[in-house]
Amino acid sequence: MLSRVAKRAFSSTVANPYKVTVLGAGGGIGQPLSLLLKLNHKVTDLRLYDLKGAKGVATDLSHIPTNSVVKGFTPEEPDGLSNALKDTDMVLIPAGVPRKPGMTRDDLFAINASIVRDLAAAAAESAPNAAILVISNPVNSTVPIVAQVLKNKGVYNPKKLFGVTTLDSIRAARFISEVENTDPTQERVNVIGGHSGITIIPLISQTNHKLMSDDKRQELIHRIQFGGDEVVKAKDGAGSATLSMAHAGAKFANAVLSGLKGERDVIEPSFVDSPLFKSEGIEFFASPVTLGPDGIEKIHPIGELSSEEEEMLQKCKETLKKNIEKGVNFVASK
């Protein structure tokens, strides 16, 4: 017999039974991301799908005594993908290929665009109300691809489509703490724009460190923009960030679930369908968003920028516009 306290604790963990699906769960990001989702008490039904390895990862994770059921799905079984997605609340997409040394995120477009397009079409069919979190690169183009697919299927909800840019914010917090000798857990840096090279704009002028010397600040900004390259180089052909990315993905997924659950003041940056620069033809932009029961509740303005940041924003917008158009045209042309 359960004690009254134990019963109450149990019932509070099952009060928000969220179904979550990871597409690409057997990969470098997918595996640790699935582990972190297995440890998240908001998740009660975890579905893992990959071209290979999802069953093994699911069975492995299923032995962890948290309050969720984990199941693996493969493309070989009938309706494997649709069963993985059926009526799920959240779909995370880390499926695709990662960078090798010398590659930019844009170089991945040729392979990842069609992978993301096809998975988005499956999600539109089987989980039309789910929040979709796109991790596969190039995020600046894959998010518009998903939006276009959902639009074509008549189920596009801009409040529930997210490009995961959390890794840029966590890198910014870590790197600024290294140069300023501060506690990284207390650092917050707004990172806006997109998720590749010069489209990543960390707003140092909005932190407590705005008096940093020009050299130090420029070096820091460059490191935040190209931090992913450090990992690609160190892994020497074995891929890009997977563990820090899994942490970032799980952090953002938890924020989305917290919003769905009705928690207040849940704010995270994300690359979303945004009104901020729509008048200039830029349909998607990363900035802090408040997450709520229906997905995005509020898209925050970017605030005041320094003249240096204004210049970065101009360059970002030129690249971003092209990246977004490339994604939209890819779907339109098929």
Q: Which residues are catalytic?
A: 195
Give least dist CB 88 to ligand NAI, A: 15
Give least dist CB 111 to ligand NAI, A: 8
Q: Is 202 in the site for ligand NAI (CB under 6 A)?
A: no
Please check if 239 is assigned to a binding site: no
Closest by CA to 21, choosing from 122, 144, 97, 117, is 122
Q: Residue 216 or residue 334: which is nearer to ligand NAI going by CB?
A: 334
Q: Which residue has the tokens 């679930």?
A: 257
The sign of the dihedral angle between the CA atoms of 89, 278, 108, 201 is negative
Q: Tell me how far apart the alpha carbons of residues 169 and 203 are, in angstroms, rounded to a whole number.
A: 10
Q: Residue 5 or residue 110: which is nearer to ligand NAI going by CB?
A: 110
Whole-angstrom CA distances from 223 to 175, 217, 220 are 8, 10, 5
**What does 290-322 look like in DSSP terms, one character per residue?**
EEETTEEEEEPP-----HHHHHHHHHHHHHHHH
Give least dist CB 157 to ligand NAI, A: 21
- Contact pattern for ligand NAI over residues 208 through 227, marking x by CB under 6 A: --------------------
By three-state DSSP, how is residue 207 classified? Answer: coil
Q: Is 139 in the site for ligand NAI (CB under 6 A)?
A: yes
Q: Tell me how far apart the alpha carbons of residues 85 and 151 are, in angstroms, rounded to a whole number.
A: 19
From 198, 239, 276, 306, residue interacting with ligand NAI (rule: CB under 6 A): 239
From 98, 193, 194, 227, residue interacting with ligand NAI (rule: CB under 6 A): 98
Q: Is 269 in the site for ligand NAI (CB under 6 A)?
A: no
205: left (phi over 0), alpha (psi -120 to 50) or beta: alpha
Q: Is 115 in the site for ligand NAI (CB under 6 A)?
A: yes
**If residue 29 lies in a helix (H) or strand (E), which one and from where to where?**
none
- Contact pattern for ligand NAI over residues 29 through 68, marking x by CB under 6 A: xx------------------xxxx----------------
Task: List residues near ligand NAI by CB under 6 A.
Answer: 23-24, 26-30, 49-52, 94-99, 108, 112, 115, 119, 135-137, 139, 164, 167, 195, 239-242, 245
